[in-house]
Amino acid sequence: MIPELGHFALILAALVSLILGTLPMIGAHTNRQAWIAVARPAATALAMLVTFSFACLTQAFVANDFSVVYVAQHSNSLLPIEYRVAGVWGGHEGSLLLWILMLTWWAFLVAVFSRELPDTMVARVLATLGLVGFGFLLFILLTSNPFERLLPGAAEGRDLNPLLQDPGLVIHPPLLYMGYVGFSVAYAFAIAALLSGKLDAAWARWSRPWTMAAWIFLTLGIAMGSWWAYYELGWGGWWFWDPVENASFMPWLIGTALIHSLAVTEKRGSFKNWTVLLAISAFSLSLLGTFLVRSGVLTSVHAFATDPRRGIFILIFLVAVIGASLTLFAARAPKVGLGGRFGLISRESLLLTNNVLLVVACATVLLGTLYPLLIDALGVGKISVGPPYFNAVFVPVMSPILFLMGVGPFARWKEASIPEIAKAVKWALAVGVIVAIALPLLYGQWYAMTALGIFFATWIVVTALLNFIERVQHTRAGRGFLATAASQPRSFVGMHLAHIGVAVFVVGVTMVGSYQDEKDVKMAPGESVDVAGYHFTFNGVKAVEGPNYVAAQGDFDLAVNGQFVRKMNPEKRNYHSSAMPMTEASIDAGLLRDVYVSLGEPIDRDKPEGEWAVRVYYKPFVDWIWGGCVLMSVGGLIAMLDRRYRVKARAAANLPAGTQEA
């Protein structure tokens, strides 16, 4: 009964989203107040209906209702409760439902927090979100109904893919989807601006916090996925240039370009068309990502068993959204205008360079991801584009971005002078070069790439500090240094914190890439192995029992300089319900390094108490990779909470009626 209610709520939601997508849109166009007023209540109703539907599916999982096909395929009565809840988004149908849940909640939040915005603007934004929601609801109802019944019901479920039975999975998809779907708000704002033809600083100020919020979630979601791959896939990598990872990375690159471009649009009124185009691109790439992942054209851990109808539906939807948006853009962009002028060397031009480079970076990822698909579709052959391609392309494209990150904050708007900037950053350059030469030498091996990475990281941190100090000195006006420092605008503090996050990330990538050490060895109980000064002694393997699996648990002693540090217990698990073995690595995490042990297989399958193939890793600074992402997100959050988004937004709403879009 409850699954049917959930299904019914979804059908109602589709109807409501159609109303939300049409009435307020027409109302805004023809200036009918009553139709415009439909937007907020419809968005609220939509969010409530989808939430109810989602709750129904969750209930089916919690109650082990195996008469629902989706539950029978992705759960099991032995599955712990937290994974039964996470199992809701463990498969195709449920993850789409999560997608649409996020979309309707974003729309709901826009409806709640948009009191300062003109009603026509809100109507257009919510209507755009309603139309996107309608497309996805149709998709769920027509091709991927999670509430489909199994008659007669199964006695037991097939269980959740063991790879997904991990706390990381509970958080990763929702975070990632919040980011993906969050760009729909930036997109809706862009579409509303195109429709009204009015794109000004106030518009940019409204869009910025929403875009920033989506970007924060996407950053955390990607970082979480990377961290999960690191510890759960068991083989110590943190990024594989897997097409699905790329699918989430592309919107991130464009989203990063967008938040910088929005800054220019807000402060200087420039880059208007460009900003709109980026907002459309970011969301289109989110849709493309969904298409790539869900259609089964890609093969990866994320690809679920697929049905070609689904791929075709998303493809049509993708083409419709991108086609309609770009047509609208072509028709209306001249009305929106380019915006203010700026000098050849100015903060605008530096940010434009940043934008071009980020877009180029995204294009290279897109090429590397789609090229094998294209070759395959043309029937020329099957190829794979591997990590070396991406690494070879990414370093030269990202290097100038990292360099500009240090220069940009010193450049004045409109017209900057190179000597002035050079004077401000010369010490940062000196410190960067010294650290870049010295640090790799201290680590024993000097590589040019290591020095380059360390240089950029130092450069970014020192320039950020210099810029911060300079600004504090300028704005002191007789107050104490600390008091002035504490009263800097949040957007300024957030920007530098996020940039320092990038530096931290770069340190992690550089150090782990240069100095990691790994050994694959055969170990008998009592034997030991050394990696980078860490001494591992293998004491054998014992059988342990988990809630829904049995595992062989290795017992290792970790020692440094003859001093015992800790026990490490990696596991090889066998889940009851599926024949899949699973590797659970044991990681000793630290600020400056991780050491990592994984069990391979017993050398003789019939003697698990004997010798095992074992992999041990030394991973310097690897946690800085994710730490850097967290800093970027915190920086974004601080910037998003800047006072002016509230104060001035209210002031803008109090402008005389004539200046608002009628």
Rounded Cα–Cα distance for residues 590 and 232 (Å): 18
Out of 26, 63, 324, 367, the residue judged to bind another protein by CB under 8 A: 367
> 598 with 553: CB under 8 angstroms?
no
Out of 39, 46, 351, 582, the residue judged to bind another protein by CB under 8 A: 582
Q: Does 615 bind another protein (CB under 8 A)?
A: yes
Classify each residue of 276-291 as buried b or exposed e, where b means 16 or more C-beta atoms within 10 Å of its C-beta: bbbbbbbbbbbbbbbb
Q: Which of residues 242-301 bind another protein (CB under 8 A)?
A: 299, 301
- 474 or 605: CB nearest another protein: 605
Q: Does 600 bind another protein (CB under 8 A)?
A: yes
Q: Does 598 bind another protein (CB under 8 A)?
A: yes
Q: Does 399 bind another protein (CB under 8 A)?
A: no
- 483 or 580: CB nearest another protein: 580
Rounded Cα–Cα distance for residues 569 and 566 (Å): 10
Q: Does 234 bind another protein (CB under 8 A)?
A: yes
Report in angstroms how near the CB of residue 342 gets to another protein at its nearest: 9
> 213 with 219: CB under 8 angstroms?
no
Report in angstroms how near the CB of residue 360 gets to another protein at its nearest: 5
- Structure-block tokens of residue 336: 């929106």
Q: Which of residues 314-343 bind another protein (CB under 8 A)?
A: 341, 343
Cβ-proximal residues to 327 (8 Å cutoff; 6+ apart), any chain: none
**Phi/psi of residue 608, nearest 5 degrees:** -65, -15
- 162 or 501: CB nearest another protein: 162
- Structure-block tokens of residue 163: 């790879």
Cβ-proximal residues to 96 (8 Å cutoff; 6+ apart), any chain: 136, 139, 140, 144, 146, 294
In the chain, the amino acid numbered 472 is V
Residue with tokens 């970007």: 215
> 129 with 25: CB under 8 angstroms?
no
Q: Which of residues 54-113 bind another protein (CB under 8 A)?
A: none
Q: Does 396 bind another protein (CB under 8 A)?
A: yes
Out of 22, 364, 484, 569, the residue judged to bind another protein by CB under 8 A: 364
Stretch in the footprint of another protein (CB under 8 A) among 76-84, 323-331, 499-507, 581-589 = 581-589
Out of 62, 315, 322, 603, the residue judged to bind another protein by CB under 8 A: 603
- 185 or 582: CB nearest another protein: 582
- 214 or 407: CB nearest another protein: 407
Q: Does 344 bind another protein (CB under 8 A)?
A: yes
Q: Does 393 bind another protein (CB under 8 A)?
A: yes
Q: Does 397 bind another protein (CB under 8 A)?
A: yes
- Size, binding site for another protein by CB under 8 A: 47
- 215 or 618: CB nearest another protein: 618
Rounded Cα–Cα distance for residues 371 and 172 (Å): 28
- 613 or 637: CB nearest another protein: 613
Classify each residue of 90-121 as buried b or exposed e, where b means 16 or more C-beta atoms within 10 Å of its C-beta: bbbbbbbbbbbbbbbbbbbbbbeebebbbbbb
Report in angstroms how near the CB of residue 409 gets to another protein at its nearest: 21
Q: Does 235 bind another protein (CB under 8 A)?
A: yes
563 DSSP 8-state letter? E
> 623 with 508: CB under 8 angstroms?
yes
552 DSSP 8-state letter? E
H-helix or E-strand containing 538? strand 534-545
- 161 or 256: CB nearest another protein: 161
- 389 or 413: CB nearest another protein: 389
Q: Does 163 bind another protein (CB under 8 A)?
A: yes
- 393 or 653: CB nearest another protein: 393
Distance, CA of 369 to chain centre: 17
Q: Does 383 bind another protein (CB under 8 A)?
A: yes
Q: Which residues pair with 574 in a beta bridge?
A: 550, 581
Out of 315, 601, 634, 660, the residue judged to bind another protein by CB under 8 A: 601
Report in angstroms how near the CB of residue 109 gets to another protein at its nearest: 35
- 33 or 299: CB nearest another protein: 299
Out of 109, 150, 322, 356, the residue judged to bind another protein by CB under 8 A: 356
> 615 with 587: CB under 8 angstroms?
no
- Distances in Å between the alpha carbon of 546 and those of 159, 169, 550, 574, 619? 15, 18, 6, 10, 29
In the chain, the amino acid numbered 193 is A
Contact track, another protein, 472-511, x by CB under 8 A = ----------------------------------------
List own/partner pairs for 425-429 with CB under 8 A and 24 or more apart. 425/463, 425/466, 427/462, 427/466, 428/458, 428/459, 428/462, 428/463, 428/466, 429/459
> 27 with 35: CB under 8 angstroms?
yes
Contact footprint for another protein (CB under 8 A): 161, 163, 234-235, 299, 301, 341, 343-344, 349, 352-353, 356-357, 360, 364, 367-368, 371, 381-386, 388-389, 392-393, 396-397, 520-522, 578-583, 598, 600-601, 603, 611, 613, 615
